[in-house]
Amino acid sequence: MWVHTRAHMSVKGSLHPKRRRRTIHRTPAAAAETAATAEEEGEGSGAMASVAAAEGAAAALRSVLSRAQQAAARSGRVVAVSKTKPVGVIRGVYDAGHRCFGENYVQELIDKAPQLPEDIEWHFIGNLQSNKARALLAGVPNLDMVESVDDQKIANRLDRVVADLGRKPLKVLVQVNTSGEESKFGVDPSGCVELAKHVKLGCPNLVFSGLMTIGMLDYSSTPENFRALANCRKEVCKELGIPEEQCELSMGMSADFEQAIEMGSTNVRVGSTIFGAREYPKKN
C-alpha cells in the first residue's frame, strides 16, 4: 500500500540481510553472472554475453523491485481520513480497494460506519472524551484502532468499555505532543513512557500498538516532530522491553507523508490529498 518511496527505502535498508540472501531470485542473477564470466574469460562472443548480462540484471531488478514493493506494503498502511466527507465518496474509495479509513469526530463516525461495509477498518484519530467512549465502541463494532489515547483516564475508560461490551482487545496508540503547541492534544514527550507503560501493563483489554503525533499547526510537520516521536519510541521500547518493530509510528499527513515514511512512519493519515479540501459548515 505504500507509495514508491517506501519501496525504494526497503531496497536500501529494511530488508533483513539473511532473508534477502535466502530468497534471492536465482535465475536472472545467475544468468547475468554466467554471461559476465563468459565475457571475462574471452570466450569469443563478448558482445552477446554482455547483452545477456544486461538482460539478466534488468530481469533481476524487476524482481527485486516487485518484492521490495510487497515487503513495503506489509510494513505500513495509509489511513484515508474521510472526516466531513459523505459516505458516497468514501464508498468510492472503498470500491477502489481501500479498507482503512480514519475519522476524528465520534458522532460523525457513529453516523457513517453503519452505512458502510463492515470490513472497513476504522481508525479513530481525534480527541476522545471519556463520556463518549462507550458510544464510539458500541456504535462502531469494526473500530480497529484508537490513535489518540493521551492520558490514563481515557485509557482506563476504553479498557473498561471493551470489557463491558465483550469486544476483542482494542488496538491503541499513545498520542504525543511533539510540537509543544498548547492547542495540540497529546502527552508531553517526557510522559510517553509512563502512559505507554500504563496501557501495556494496566489495561488488559487494550493492545498497546505504538505512538502517534500531529505536526505543526499548518499541518506540515517539521522533521523535528518526527524525530521526537522516533525518540519516544526508543525510550518506550527500551522501558517496556519490546522490539521497535512492535511499536508503530503514526505520523505524516497530506503535506508531509513521504517525509514521514522516510523517517520511519508505519501509519500515515492522509485526508485532503485523497478526498479534496474539506469544507466546514460556517459558524454563525
Ligand X SMILES: *Cc1c(COP(=O)(O)O)cnc(C)c1O
Q: Would you say 36 or 255 has its CB closer to ligand X?
A: 255
Q: Residue 74 corresponds to which amino acid?
A: R
Q: Would you say 20 or 132 has its CB closer to ligand X?
A: 132
- Cα of 229 vs its chain's centroid, Å: 14
Q: Would you say 112 or 269 has its CB closer to ligand X?
A: 269
Q: Would you say 60 or 143 has its CB closer to ligand X?
A: 143
Shortest distance, CB of residue 15 to ligand X, whole angstroms? 29
Nearest-CB residue to ligand X? 271
Shortest distance, CB of residue 38 to ligand X, whole angstroms? 53
Q: Which of 226, 231, 262, 233 is nearest to 248 (CA)?
A: 233
Shortest distance, CB of residue 278 to ligand X, whole angstroms? 7
Shortest distance, CB of residue 105 to ligand X, whole angstroms? 9
What's the full length of the chain, in residues?
284
Do residues 103 and 146 touch, judged by C-beta distance below 8 A?
no
Sign of CA dihedral 80, 100, 135, 139: positive
Shortest distance, CB of residue 219 to ligand X, whole angstroms? 5
Q: Would you say 67 or 112 has its CB closer to ligand X?
A: 112
Q: Would you say 28 or 271 has its CB closer to ligand X?
A: 271
DSSP secondary structure of 219-268: S---HHHHHHHHHHHHHHHHHHT--GGGSEEE---TTTHHHHHHTT-SEE
Q: Which residues bind ligand X (CB under 6 A)?
A: 81, 83, 104, 125-126, 214, 219, 253-255, 269-273
Alpha helical stretches, state H, the chain: 4-9, 17-22, 26-40, 46-75, 87-95, 106-112, 133-139, 152-165, 192-202, 223-240, 257-262, 272-275
Shortest distance, CB of residue 138 to ligand X, whole angstroms? 23
